[in-house]
A and B are shown apart, each in its own frame.
Chain A
Amino acid sequence: MTQCDLVIIGGGPAGLAAAVAARKQGVEDILILERDGELGGILNQCIHNGFGLHTFSEELTGPEYAARFIEKVQEEAIPYKLHTMVLNITKEKTVTAMNREDGLFDIQAKAIVLAMGCRERPRGALNIPGYRPAGIFSAGTAQRLVNIEGFMPGREVVILGSGDIGLIMARRMTLKGAKVKVVAEVMPYSGGLKRNIVQCLDDYNIPLKLSHTVIDIQGKERLTGVTLAQVDENRRPVPGTEIQYKCDTLLLSVGLIPENELSKSAGIQIGSVTRGPVVNESLETSVEGIFACGNVLHVHDLVDYVSEEASMAGENAAHYIKNKEMYAARKEIPVNTGEGVRYTVPETLDIQRMRSNQTLRFRVGSVYTGAYVSVYLDDKRIQHKKRQVLAPGEMETVILKQEELQKYPKLQKITVRIEEE
């Protein structure tokens, strides 16, 4: 069987940043496995600008942001295989993959970085009644058709879901000559960035209907229309509020789910909120030597944070390969979620292995203004910082200092919570 020090599964922004970081830490033998025909992942179809403000202090389009990292991978001469589908990974870190040139093959890795990203929630997850005519796409599929394959999926469009991809596609379809009639959002607020509401909807006079959802789909061969209705506070349609829209296309932008089939095949523990692997401070999963980063770990709002997190995962994997013994002992302290905090990444932390300044990312459950983000070591509050605004759509961070945690040898738990005062 082929041996490899570090196998990285996925050649999108997370995989690329992890590979470059591991190489900089001295790992010579790295292999990136990518199922698409090119590196860069989903960035290749995100042709709009706004990427990289944090990383490069300039606004890049998705392909440009990807190109910066692809160039680094090429400069470092890190090997990669395209059109390569990973079929299975095991606890023992054997990777089974296939492609046209090599057929089916196994690689024995010393460490693995999971960077498979996420996929869109499909129509089936929404239970919309009606026929199954042509013309219903996930927003990301439509984005690929328009921006890479070069054709338009339809002319008269209704979009369900006001996540960023839905908003971006409302503008994109409009610029390409389609009529976007409405964007419907089941929640009373949009899940997308304010910037996108203004620049993708308001600029083009596309109405956004909050607390609305699709209750019926018409058309047998091709979609001919949809019915929207207002929903009550329990997200149930309110009779009498139905509005009929004639359209040939329905785009769904209704959430993203980390793609963890492979993680599960290795018996990796998956978190119920993030739907990604449960990781420790090193971004190491419940299986020793398998690390995770990017949208396969938890869905990010900005690619800059994906790159940052993936660099950490790459460095940690490099550290693991050289200092395996440090990872065998598991004296990890749980990081608990208090009031208002939906999840944290990492979920556990080892004080010996943690960085001197350890980043902890989390998301809140609802919108807060002027609230405080607090960190408790057991019952002692060590951080209490006021934030202008906290919103579920935005990822938040706190930094924990190793120095400070070392003062608490009997520490049982760390808690992050939102406090009104």
Chain B
Amino acid sequence: MEKRELTCIGCPMGCTLTVTMQDKEVVSLTGNTCKRGDIYGRKEVTNPTRIVTSTVRVKNGENPVVSVKTAQDIPKDKIWACMEAIHEIQVEAPIQIGQVVLKNVADTGVDLIATKNQRAVESRL
């Protein structure tokens, strides 16, 4: 039996949840004061996911970087692999919101998409 303590993020109460696990299955969850705490606690210990947001370098753009996000949430333990992939790439302006910047980032099956429009500029040379 493994016990894990979490802080619920559902509302400002921030209930302390205690989740008891056995063989990666949730046996019990206590400390929550509402349904949302239960749902959050179970997901957080079995399959924690996050949307990753960052910036990617831009070629010929009006700014040196453009903001991006993973189109869906990805497993928490893939965040660093995702960031490494993000740091390696460069994207050419013009860029449209929603445009796929990198397909299947870090083998998550999720695409990396731009979250801002960016115009191209004439080469500064």
A contact set with B: CB distance below 8 Å: 44, 47-49, 59, 61, 63-64, 67, 146-151, 175-176, 193-195, 197-199, 202-203, 369, 388-389, 391, 393-394
Other-chain residue from A63, A388, A389, A393 in contact with B67 (beta carbon distance below 8 A):
A63
Are B12 and A391 touching (Cβ within 8 A)?
yes
Q: Determine whether the beta carbon of A147 is less than 8 Å from that of B33.
A: no
> Which B residues from 79 to 125 make CB contacts under 8 A with A?
79, 83, 97, 115-117
Task: Give the CA-CA distance A304 to B9 in the complex, in Å.
Answer: 19
B113 → A minimal CB distance (Å): 10
Is B11 an interface position by the 8 A CB rule? yes
- Does B51 have its Cβ within 8 Å of any Cβ on chain A? yes
CB of B65 within 8 A of CB of A67, answer no
Contacts of A47 in B (CB 8 A): 53-55, 67, 69, 115-116
Specify which chain A residues have a CB less than 8 angstroms from the CB of B33 in the assembled complex: 388
6 example contacts (A-B, Cβ-Cβ < 8 A) are as follows A44-B116, A47-B69, A61-B67, A149-B63, A175-B54, A199-B9
Q: How far is the CA of A391 from the CA of B11 in the complex (A)?
A: 11
Asked if A389 and B13 sit within 8 Å, CB to CB, the answer is: yes
Query: CA A63 – CA B11 in complex, angstroms?
Result: 25
The answer to the question of B19 belonging to the interface, with a C-beta cut-off of 8 Å to chain A, is no
Structural contact, B115 and A388, CB atoms closer than 8 A:
no
Closest to B14 in A: A194
Given contacts A67-B97, A150-B55, A175-B54, 5 further A-B contacts (CB under 8 A): A47-B53, A48-B53, A175-B52, A194-B7, A203-B79
Q: How far is the CA of A114 from the CA of B76 in the complex (A)?
A: 42
Which B residues contact A (CB, under 8 angstroms)?
6-9, 11-14, 33, 50-55, 57, 63-65, 67, 69, 76, 79, 83, 97, 115-117
Q: In the bound complex, do residue A150 and residue B63 qualify as a contact, i.e. CB atoms below 8 Å apart? A: yes
Q: Which one of B53, B65, B79 has the highest number of Cβ atoms from chain A below 10 Å of its Cβ? A: B53
Interchain nearest-CB distance for B78 vs A (Å): 13
Which residues of chain B are within 8 angstroms of A193 by Cβ–Cβ distance? 9, 12
**Which residues from A are CB-within-8-Å of B55?**
47, 146-147, 150
Closest to A196 in B: B9
Q: Do A203 and B76 contact each other (CB < 8 Å), given the known contacts A47-B67, A147-B55?
A: yes
* A300 CA to B53 CA, complexed, in Å: 23
Q: Which one of B7, B11, B54 lies within 8 Å of A389 (CB-CB)?
A: B11
Bound complex: CA A17 to CA B16 (Å): 38
Assess whether A389 is in contact with B69, with CB atoms less than 8 Å apart: no
Kindly state the separation between the CA atoms of A313 and B33 in the bound complex, as whole angstroms. Answer: 38
B8 touches A49 (CB 8 A): no
Q: Is there an interface contact between B51 and A175, defined as CB atoms closer than 8 Å? A: no
B48 (CB) vs chain A CBs: closest residue: A203
Residue of B nearest to A193 (CB): B12
Knowing A47-B67, A49-B51, say if A393 contacts B115 (CB, 8 Å). no
Residues of the B chain whose Cβ atoms lie less than 8 Å from the Cβ of A64 = 97, 115-116
In the bound complex, how far is the Cα of B9 from the Cα of A90, in angstroms?
46
A369 to B11 alpha-carbon distance, docked (Å): 12
Give Cα distance in the complex from A219 to B59, angstroms: 37
Question: Given A199-B9, A388-B13: A149 and B64 within 8 A (CB)?
Answer: yes
A193 and B14 CA atoms in complex are apart in Å by: 9
Assess the A148–B11 pair: CB atoms within 8 A.
no
Q: Which chain A residue shows the least CB distance to B69?
A: A61
For A64, the closest partner residue in chain B by CB is B115
Q: Which residues of A contact B54 (CB under 8 A)?
A: 47, 175-176
Q: How far is the CB of A47 from chain B (nearest CB, A)?
A: 4
**Residues of the A chain whose Cβ atoms lie less than 8 Å from the Cβ of B14:** 194, 197
Report the Cα distance A59→B72, complex, angstroms.
11
A198 in complex: contacting residue of B9, B53, B64, CB < 8 Å:
B9
- With A47-B67, A64-B97 in contact, do A194 and B116 touch (Cβ < 8 Å)? no
Of all chain B residues, which has the CB nearest A369?
A: B13
Query: How far does the alpha carbon of A385 sit from the alpha carbon of B76 in the complex, in Å?
Result: 39
Q: Which residue of B lies closest to A195 (CB)?
A: B9
B76 smallest CB distance to A (angstroms): 7
**CB-nearest residue of chain B to A49:** B51
* A residues in contact with B8, CB < 8 Å: 194
Q: Are A175 and B116 in contact (CB under 8 A)?
A: no
Write the chain B residue with the least CB distance to A61.
Answer: B115
Cβ contacts under 8 Å, A394 to chain B:
12
Give Cα A202 to B67, complex, Å: 24
- Kindly name the residue among B9, B14, B54, B116 whose own CB sees the greatest number of chain A CB atoms within 10 A: B116
Given contact pairs A148-B63, A150-B65, A194-B7, A59 touches B51 in the complex (Cβ within 8 A): yes
B50 contacts which of A151, A197, A199, A369 (Cβ < 8 Å)?
A: A199
CB distance from A417 to the nearest CB of B (A): 20
Give min CB distance, B59 to chain A, whole Å: 12
- Closest residue of chain A to B44 (Cβ to Cβ) is A198
Determine if A49 and B69 form an interchain contact, defined as CB atoms under 8 angstroms apart.
yes
**Closest CB-CB distance, A169 to chain B, in whole Å?**
13
Q: Which of B9, B51, B115, B117 lies in contact with A194, CB distance below 8 A? A: B9
B12 touches A393 (CB 8 A): yes
